[in-house]
Amino acid sequence: MTPDTFVLATDLDGTLLGGDAATRRRFYQWLAGLGERCILIFVTGRALADTLPLLDAAGGDEPLPPRPRWIISDIGTRIVDGDTLAPIAPLQDWVAAAWGDAGARVRALLADEPAIAPQAVDAPYRVSYFFDPADFPRRIADKIAAAGFDCLLSHEMYLDVLPRGVAKGPALLRLLEYAGLAEHPVVVAGDTLNDLSLFQTGLPGIAVGNAEDGLLDAIRHLPRVHLSAHPGVLGIHDGLRAHGLCDGVPWPDRDAEHAHLPLEHRHAAAS
């Protein structure tokens, strides 16, 4: 690590994977060019198995982000080393203790609820459903909370039952403490309500321009959160600039001065 090393802990879908292929490829080149200056952590709602294709160097024509140092997947319920994919034992033990092998109990609790439908997610420490916001009785969330679990609604379609107190934000804070990164700046980035706990950590944040309204409504009052006008990776780049973490590192094309802008606006900005 270098004296100016910082940590980027970012959501994937809609955030680090947001934008057209050409823009993502340039951003990933730029991010990789930071070298030891940037410690990358994936913080995703994806199941771990659905995250692994992003680590495949032979990923074909689809641009892939740099390999992360750590992966927090399954909305904070799995924490693994980005190289070996081995669980970080003290952190995974915390999740397992909070969950208590409750999958069967949660499914039985919600088996007779017609307003939700199970997701085909193979996850050891959460249970996931689809829901329709136009026909979702609030008592389901209350029922989940009364049984000792957290209920997370996001993207107006996903319902996740999580161990009490476990989410992306708490998992990240524990990982930062475990890794001894407290002396380095940390910035979080996301776009949906399952990223809310990242912003609630109090760490500097970036809400990308395609963020869902529910997330924006929940974080507008929070300090040190940059609400970018730019979607996906352009929003991350814009936010890193706003937080002063990537000054002097050129974008990997000739239009570095306006690289934080969407491509269609750069010509106008330069004229």
State the Cα angle at 66 between 262 and 179, rounded to 5°.
115
**Under the phi-then-psi rule, with left for phi > 0, alpha for psi from -120 to 50, and beta for the rest, what region is 85?**
left
pLDDT in tens, 143-194: 999 999 999 999 889 999 999 999 999 999 999 999 999 789 999 999 999 9
pTM of the model: 0.90
Amino acid of residue 189: A
CB atoms within 10 A of CB 118: 12
Instruction: Please say whether the beta carbons of 147 and 112 come within 8 A.
Output: no
- The closest alpha carbon to 128, from 74, 193, 83, 91, belongs to 74
Q: What is the mean pLDDT of residues 57-66?
A: 78
- The closest alpha carbon to 102, from 151, 145, 135, 148, belongs to 148
Q: Percent of the chain at pLDDT above 70?
A: 91
In whole numbers, what is the pLDDT of the chain averaged over residues? 90
Q: How confident is the model at residue 59 (pLDDT cuts 50, 70, 90)?
A: low
Q: Which fold has domain 100-163?
A: Hypothetical Protein Ta0175; Chain: A, domain 2 (3.90.1070)
3-state secondary structure the chain: CCCCCEEEEECHHHHHCCCCHHHHHHHHHHHHHCHHHEEEEEECCCCHHHHHHHHCCCCCCCCCCCCCCEEEEHHHCEEEECCCCCECHHHHHHHHHHHCCCHHHHHHHCCCCCCEEECCCCCCCCEEEEECHHHCCHHHHHHHHHCCEEEEEECCCEEEEEECCCCHHHHHHHHHHHHCCCCCCEEEEECCHHHHHHHCCCCCEEECCCCCHHHHHHHCCCCCEEECCCCHHHHHHHHHHHCCCCCCCCCCCCCHHHCCCCHHHHHHHHC
Dist. CA 77–CA 96, nearest whole Å: 8
CATH architecture entry for 6-94+166-270: 3-Layer(aba) Sandwich (3.40)
Work out the end-to-end distance of the chain between its first and last CA atoms, rounded to an integer number of angstroms.
39
Sketch the domain layout of the chain as residue ranges.
Answer: 6-94+166-270, 100-163
pLDDT in tens, 69-103: 999 999 999 999 999 999 999 999 999 999 999 99
Instruction: Please say whether the beta carbons of 80 and 88 come within 8 A.
Output: yes
Dist. CA 164–CA 170, nearest whole Å: 11
pLDDT in tens, 213-234: 999 999 999 999 999 999 999 9
